[in-house]
Structure 1
Amino acid sequence: MSILICISDLTEKQEFKEIDGNSKVHTLPRKALWSRVTSLRPPNKPTHADNAQKDSKTRTLRRLIIEIEGISAFYLLRELQHFTQLRLQLSANPALRGVDILWLQLRPPKKEVIDYKWNLILAHTLWERIEVEYLMSWLSTLGGGFSALGEQFSRCADVAGKISLRQLHIGLRLGDPFLQARCKLYYSISLIQTGRLRQAKYIIREQYKFAMKQKELDGRLVKMCQGIWLRLQYEYGLRLKTKKSTPDIHGGSSDK
């Protein structure tokens, strides 16, 4: 046994749903509503649908309009979905005899219901997110300054790496994988500046693979990986050039 329900909100926006015999709720597009109504009508009773085959302009949708508050409508749908006996009683109700669709017209409640506990949790979470974003902006500015100085002073590069790790901890708390990936890339820059090229190489490769696996490609993250990878290649080139120009044990130079 299926029940067709229309939910019309305060802006007169209508959403059509069907609760089937397996207690599943399906959303029906408006175009498919009439065909579904005619398929659910008893075949042994003549209806206006029979005349509609001759005249497509003749269509009658029999509905029962009930004005109800939004919260009550929500619980009514839940009860109809989970309790088969309630659906049977509703279909046997004389008021619904010959009715095609149950029309729930939402109305403003007489008294607004405010969930103060949830509002407090939401306000605290929102304020925490604002403070964390503010802290991240300061850390990014500070880390960028130390990273720039790290080109000449290794101690500043170490400080920039510690700031990046601190940002990573914040990213882990926020649960944002893209922010975590950017923080790891920031840390890889510190590794390059301090000569730990192999560790930086593994981090950059890992973040590039992560960026390319996403359904929605983050161009900013991909370009960061490519840019830092070029910097890594440059440092490897300098290291190789230095090794070639280093004198051997016989006092000569290996750079020929």
Structure 2
Amino acid sequence: MTLIVCVCDYWKRRHYYNRQPVQSAAGDTGKSHKKIVRRLSLELDAIAGNYWLRELLQQKVLCHRLERDHEVQLLWLSLHPPEHDTIDYKWADMLAHTIWEHIEVEHLMSWLSTLGGGFSALGEQFERCAQTAGKISLQQLTIGLRLGDPFLQARCKLYYSISLIQCGQLRRAKRLIRAQYRFAKQHEEHDQRLVRMCLGIWLRLRFEYQERRGRRLAADNNS
């Protein structure tokens, strides 16, 4: 039998660990039979109780000692608030560093968005500026991958598709926009702007296709 651990918190709620599911025995007549369980009760503050629980669930040495040497079947841990609160300085430093890094990345993304928008506007007239805007979008995508934000990644890919359209790579842009549109429709409840971005860039792509067909027809008529 595995040692059952019960933690009773400040509000007298019980949390069981290692408890086996109850199964009805064969030939049960419906009458309840109470089985005597050897129990060990301990009153601990929450900090000590946390160490006890980690030892019991992870190391298993203490569990085996209690079961083998003392025949304990249920360990009851009643928790009460500690006299002095403790501060996890290591975790606080890690959290502060993560938050500060996130703030710096957001600041960098805003600058890249402004710079990319300027080059994208110039890309309507100069292909070299369109290529630079595409490189900026790829840098933003790298940051989005590091942050693990799929919606940010999708927006960066759509920005990159604008650069592809300006450079005349319409087929690559079409595949990219369609992929992001499928993703946007699956998560429309979380980010409706993404769907509108896809539709707006798709209209721009259709316009470029129409312009290309018009130029080809004009060239055929002149020849």
Same-fold status (TM-score > 0.5): yes
- Given that residues 149 and 156 in structure 1 are in contact (C-alpha distance below 8 angstroms), is that contact kept between their aligned partners in structure 2? yes
SS of the residue aligned with 2:79?
strand
The answer for the alignment partner of 1:183 in structure 2 is 156
Alpha-carbon distance change, 124 to 66 in structure 1, aligned in 2, over 3 angstroms: same
* Structure 1 position 171, deviation (Å): 1.6
Pairing of 1:144-159 with structure 2 (within 5 A): 144-159=117-132
Distance in 1 (CA, whole Å) between partners of 2:131 and 2:70 is: 73
The answer as to 2:84 corresponding to 1:105 is no
- Given that residues 79 and 86 in structure 1 are in contact (C-alpha distance below 8 angstroms), is that contact kept between their aligned partners in structure 2? no
Distance in 2 (CA, whole Å) between partners of 1:79 and 1:40 is: 33
Alpha-carbon distance change, 18 to 174 in structure 1, aligned in 2, over 3 angstroms: closer
The answer as to 2:174 corresponding to 1:198 is no
Structure 2 unmatched ranges of 5 or more: 22-31
* Structure 1 position 230, deviation (Å): 1.9
* Structure 1 position 199, deviation (Å): 1.6
Alpha-carbon distance change, 215 to 241 in structure 1, aligned in 2, over 3 angstroms: closer
The answer for the alignment partner of 2:57 in structure 1 is 81
* Structure 1 position 91, deviation (Å): 7.5
What is the aligned length?
A: 208
- Given that residues 4 and 102 in structure 1 are in contact (C-alpha distance below 8 angstroms), is that contact kept between their aligned partners in structure 2? yes
- Given that residues 49 and 77 in structure 2 are in contact (C-alpha distance below 8 angstroms), is that contact kept between their aligned partners in structure 1? no
Distance in 1 (CA, whole Å) between partners of 2:143 and 2:210 is: 35
The answer for the alignment partner of 1:8 in structure 2 is 9
Alpha-carbon distance change, 222 to 65 in structure 1, aligned in 2, over 3 angstroms: farther
* Structure 1 position 20, deviation (Å): 2.3
* Structure 1 position 125, deviation (Å): 2.0
The answer for the alignment partner of 2:98 in structure 1 is 125
Alpha-carbon distance change, 90 to 212 in structure 1, aligned in 2, over 3 angstroms: farther
Identity level (%):
53
- Given that residues 7 and 106 in structure 1 are in contact (C-alpha distance below 8 angstroms), is that contact kept between their aligned partners in structure 2? no
| Greater Rg over alpha carbons, structure | 1
The answer for the alignment partner of 2:44 in structure 1 is 68
* Structure 1 position 131, deviation (Å): 0.3
Distance in 1 (CA, whole Å) between partners of 2:162 and 2:173 is: 7
Letter in 2 for 1:114: I
Please point out which of 35, 38, 41 is paired with 1:42: 35
Alpha-carbon distance change, 158 to 114 in structure 1, aligned in 2, over 3 angstroms: same
TM-score normalised by structure 2 residue count: 0.74
Distance in 2 (CA, whole Å) between partners of 1:75 and 1:131 is: 37
* Structure 1 position 13, deviation (Å): 7.1
Give a deviation string over 1:146-198, Cα, whole Å, max 9, x none. Answer: 32333334333233222212211212222323222211110111111222211
Structure 1 unmatched ranges of 5 or more: 23-38, 46-62
Please point out which of 193, 202, 215 is paired with 1:229: 202
